[in-house]
Amino acid sequence: MRARSREAGFTLIEVLVALAIIAVAMSAAVRVAGLMTQSSGVLRDRSVAMIAAQSRMAELRLEGKLPLGMKAIDCDQGRLSLRCEQQIGPAENGRLLKIAIQVFDRNQDAPPLAKLETLLTRPL
């Protein structure tokens, strides 16, 4: 009977191997959770930047004056320090204006968070 009781449990090596496998799996899960949190923050910033670009486009339409050339203005949204760069120039057919707005994070040298382009009729 004593021989059977010794076979019923796990050895120390088996327990250590199981703990090592669990530790590797847990570290992978923590890393994935961190990456998901980071990517959701970037997605949120891009969404807010697109709202800033749409707001700037609406302002241009309401002003009615569309000065040709490039202009950069601050267009902060909440906690984000943003810079909107607008480029206004003639379109290919000459009767329309091409308006391009790019939104950048003022605190980083990075590609634009959002881009928005449209064609508008020239003001009279």
Residues of the chain with pLDDT > 70: what percent? 93
Please spell the DSSP secondary structure of the chain, one letter per residue: -HHHHHHTS--HHHHHHHHHHHHHHHHHHHHHHHHHHHHHHHHHHHHHHHHHHHHHHHHHHHH----SEEEEEE--BTTB-EEEEEEEEE-TTSSEEEEEEEEEETTS--S-SEEEEEEEEPP-
**How high is the mean pLDDT of the chain?**
87
pLDDT digits (tens, 9 = 90+) for 29-88: 999 888 888 778 888 889 999 999 999 999 988 888 888 999 999 998 888 899 999 999
